[in-house]
Structure 1
């Protein structure tokens, strides 16, 4: 699932023909970098790939003043089919990536078990800082977002809160985990 492809095709389908700079400004205006995995700077490269694949077509070339010529694109019929598939895929696909932390917790260094509580405490502090940042960004962006954008932006903060809750539970079972690791080391 490619978020940037969905953004470009969806924007062109919704707003009509646009050039790359207009799409980049739209991405900045909608603050997509705050609530998606889209890098605003990747718009131009993605547009070139979409054009090469026949998903968007050049409808005209414009020049404003002394600025360079800009190609204006629209969604091709094939691009509309791809957009439909991307929308469905985005709504149906669940992405929760494995966290390397989980593997590290199952492969603890027996000689550094005493440091584990401090490492977990530091991790919880980092998560709380991430949550504070996410909430601050959300608060500053809320006036500029649609109702659906506001709702999905809260998704990130809710996921971080869930991670903090899980880590808080980990802190309570950490003595048991450390005791188990010591017992395994002694055998």
Structure 2
């Protein structure tokens, strides 16, 4: 009897593991050098980077056959460090995961929309102050980020490797524009803070079992 072959699904790479594979596309290196490269690339803007996260990602990648040991690196009296290289399977996995990350639109649950859903419970002046505070913080961060982006582009870094930073700048600019419009509407009264709910949107009071007995 012939046993049908089963296809083992490829492991789903975490964002950190995908970034580790990205730096290994350049050359083999040990995990600490990977961490240094990732920080120099400012990839800590995208994921939480620390030695533990990188070493854990490398262990998983090696287990899944996406990286392999190629030797050791010794620098002076420092302990030997294992050097890893990306495998052909790792290159394919990196490209596949990158396609997924760009194409997919999974639900995200950032905290700010939760605050917006609840801010109407606060007094109008408190809500306005909070919106203005957020707007000022975003504007300050955007100015600094734009200056850094323009500086590295002027030094010759291709814009194609900075699409994530460019996207964040545009997304933040859109949020600032929304905040400006919303703040103006609250200030002018176009967005009322005291308008009553229409009857169709009033929730009836729920009666507890004790009250009906």
TM over 0.5: same fold?
yes
The TM-score with structure 2 as length reference comes to 0.69
Q: Using the TM superposition, give the Cα deviation of residue 178 of structure 1 relative to its aligned residue in structure 2, in angstroms.
A: 3.4
1:69 aligns with 2:80: yes
Bigger Rg, structure 1 or 2: 2
Q: Which residue of 2 aligns with 1:149?
A: 161
* RCO comparison, higher one (Cα < 8 Å, 6+): 1
Report matched runs for 1:15-30 at 5 Å.
Answer: 15-30=26-41
Most deviating of 23-32 and 101-110: 101-110
The TM-score with structure 1 as length reference comes to 0.77
1:88 aligns with 2:99: yes
CA distance in 2: counterparts of 1:24 and 1:76, whole angstroms: 19
Q: Which residue of 1 aligns with 2:144?
A: 136
Residues 99, 7 of structure 1: CA spacing in aligned structure 2 closer, same or farther, 3 A cutoff?
A: closer
Q: Which residue of 2 aligns with 1:45?
A: 56
Residues 69, 55 of structure 1: CA spacing in aligned structure 2 closer, same or farther, 3 A cutoff?
A: same
Q: Which residue of 1 aligns with 2:211?
A: none
More helix by share: 1
1:165 aligns with 2:177: yes
Q: Which residue of 2 aligns with 1:121?
A: 129
Q: Using the TM superposition, give the Cα deviation of residue 96 of structure 1 relative to its aligned residue in structure 2, in angstroms.
A: 6.7
Flag as ranges the 4+ runs of structure 1 deviating above 6 A. Answer: none
Map Cα deviations across residues 4-50 of structure 1 (whole Å, 9 max, x no partner): 2221112212x12111122112112212223x235254322221222
Count of residues in Structure 1 that have an aligned counterpart in Structure 2? 181
**Aligned-CA RMSD value:** 3.1
Map Cα deviations across residues 69-124 of structure 1 (whole Å, 9 max, x no partner): 111111123222211211211221246734444445445675x4xx1342243233
